[in-house]
Amino acid sequence: MSAQATAVRTGTAVREAVATARQSWTDSATAAGVAVGLAVIAPFVLGGLIANDSLASGAYLALAATGLGLCVGLAGVPSLAQGAFVGTGAFVAAHVLRDTQLPAELCALIGAIAAAGLGTAAGFAVRSLDSVRVAVGTWLLTWLVALALGALPWLSGGAQGLVVPTRRLFGLNPTPLVHYELGVVLTGLCALGLVALRRGPFGLDLAAASQHRGAAAALGVPMERLRVAAFAASAFVGGLAGGLAVQLDIVADPTAYGPLLSFELLVAVLVGGAAAAFGPSVGVIVLGLISLAARALGALAGVSASRFQPMLEALLLLAVLTTGGYAFVPAAIRAARRFRPAPPRASRRTAAAAPPSRRETLRAHDLAKHFGAVSAVDGVSLELQPRTVTALVGPNGSGKTTVLRLLSGALPPDDGAIYLGRQELTSLTTAERVRAGLVRTLQSRPFFGELSVFEHALVGTNRTRRYGGTVRTLVSTPLFRAENRIAEAHAFAALETVGLAREADRPASELTGSGRERLMIAAALATNPAVLLVDEPSAGAAPEDLELLKAIFTRLKTDGLAILLVEHNLAFVRAVADQVLALELGRVASREPNPRL
């Protein structure tokens, strides 16, 4: 490609990126830009009211808290290890500064990488735990790091700490003002990255997994891998904050990175708003005000302010938790939207074309699953062909849902084999089967309560992406933007198929039970499957909902899907099924074509 053609292509990509940024610009973005501008000029406006070194320390604390927002806000994981990651970055950077002549910013980066390594190990250890166990496990990690710093003088410098040599920072004299402005810029960039990740595949997948693990897993969301990535990214940002803050303080003090720091960072995130980009920064400001209040109380009582500050922080956190997570920034956003509602997005409605159908036959041979002496499934074989609906019926306990779990990968079979076309799926994970074209909906009508209807469908499209990685999402590459437009069109087409296109911008929590069932069918369709496994879609449905479901299955069959339907409503089965398999005690008791057809 010639230099001129490259320049033209680059210019086109830049113009598209600018147009996309303008189109997605909101009042919240304007408010955030104003807030960053005010933060930049704060030292000049405040004058001598607050020392620059205190402002710089607060900026690095805000950076570490924003990094923690990756875990708490995106992944829904209550990490209490961020202080340990900050300390790791600080002491690694301090040793590199003392032992080498590397530039100061590179030393901080090395500290961040070391912290990311510790974060990866921590994320791997807690990747499958529930929130309570994650909090306990990360709290123990914080104590382990604090105890290690106290027990190893060669690492921490003992009670005196490590004296850090001063070195120019990005070619500038490392004054507190330079550190403050650097902290503000990095915090702003981290918050911007948080917004980009939240709107992209990474954030949507994490949000889905944190709100309903089972439904997310059924759509192929690799929850454990995403959790590890969130921990690593959070630790990297925390380590970077520590690696820079230690150069501001000149001394790496082991007592500064104890469990209290992890607790304060979590308080800042929850109080400011874990899901808001600048929520953690606002939380740090609130902590600063609490520090002032603690000093006032200490002066009145004639004791140290350090006795009051943790107590006041704990009381504030308790107030937030008991009010259902009433954080400052989300509350302000909700109040602003009452006066000026956000306009609906229209770009996705311009090309709601469905992806080309994938027509494959699913074959299962002699599937078996035993739980002790009980045979839940014993030698079940079936074939699901394109353009057909196969109904699986039988009494409760006959093994219907177990068959679905074996086919989808939620359970490994004890015996038998599963093929989709020529590809064997038997040993593949659920996520791998979804990408191959086999997807399942769950029986209990689960949904992701904090996502919109449209975002549910987008979670499904994430399984079809090739250019939706974290780096491409952060920098919004041309390939990512082009694929994103296609994904939005496919997501909207899936909603149209199930009759929810008009509800695209509504919160999913506002839908009826039948609407949520159709929503999860739409999310499954957005994965572009060849085979769809559906578990009791008509349960509790009103007559008008049943008619809509009948129309949906008829359309899906016409589009070429192979469908396995587990159902108790025999009237619904007679209306939509081409073949009926009856299970009894884990075996196929009968296999007949639908007599109505």
- Reported as a single tens digit per residue, the pLDDT across 22-60 is 555 555 667 667 777 877 787 887 766 778 888 899 999
Average pLDDT of the segment spanning 565-587: 86
Q: Identify whether the C-beta of residue 431 lies closer than 8 Å to the C-beta of residue 222.
A: yes
Write the pLDDT tens digit of every residue in 397-440: 888 888 999 999 889 998 999 999 889 998 999 999 999 999 99
Helix ranges, 47-103 (H): 52-69, 82-99
147-174 pLDDT per residue, tens: 998 888 888 888 788 888 888 998 889 9
pLDDT of residue 28: 61
Q: What is the pLDDT of residues 470-491, one digit of tens each?
A: 778 877 778 888 888 889 899 9
pLDDT in tens, 237-275: 999 999 999 999 988 888 888 898 999 899 889 888 887
Mean per-residue pLDDT over the chain, rounded = 84
Task: Please name the residues in contact with 522: beta carbons below 8 A apart, sequence gap of 6 or more.
Answer: 456, 457, 460, 494, 495, 497, 498, 500
- Give 310-323 pLDDT, tens digit per residue: 788 778 777 777 76
532: phi then psi, degrees, rounded to nearest 5: -120, 125
Cβ(361)–Cβ(560) below 8 Å: no
Q: Please give the residue that has the higher pLDDT: either 494 or 543.
A: 494
pLDDT band at 346 (very low <50, low <70, confident <90, very high): very low
Query: What is the value of pTM for the model shown?
Result: 0.85
Q: For residues 200 and 29, is the Cβ–Cβ distance under 8 A?
A: no
pLDDT score of 3 = 56
Percent of the chain having pLDDT more than 70?
Answer: 87
Q: What are the beta bridge partners of residue 579?
A: 390, 593
Mean pLDDT calculated for residue range 461-471: 83
User: In which band, very low, low, confident or very high, does the pLDDT at 98 lie, cut at 50, 70 and 90?
Assistant: very high
CATH number of 362-450+516-593: 3.40.50.300
pLDDT digits (tens, 9 = 90+) for 546-557: 889 899 998 998
| Domain ranges (residues) in the chain | 42-258, 362-450+516-593
Predicted local confidence at residue 347, as pLDDT = 46
How far is Cα 588 from Cα 392, in angstroms, rounded to an integer? Answer: 9
Predicted confidence band of residue 350 (pLDDT cuts 50, 70, 90): very low
DSSP state of 467: S
User: What local confidence, expressed as pLDDT, does residue 77 receive?
Assistant: 86
- Output the pLDDT for position 122: 93
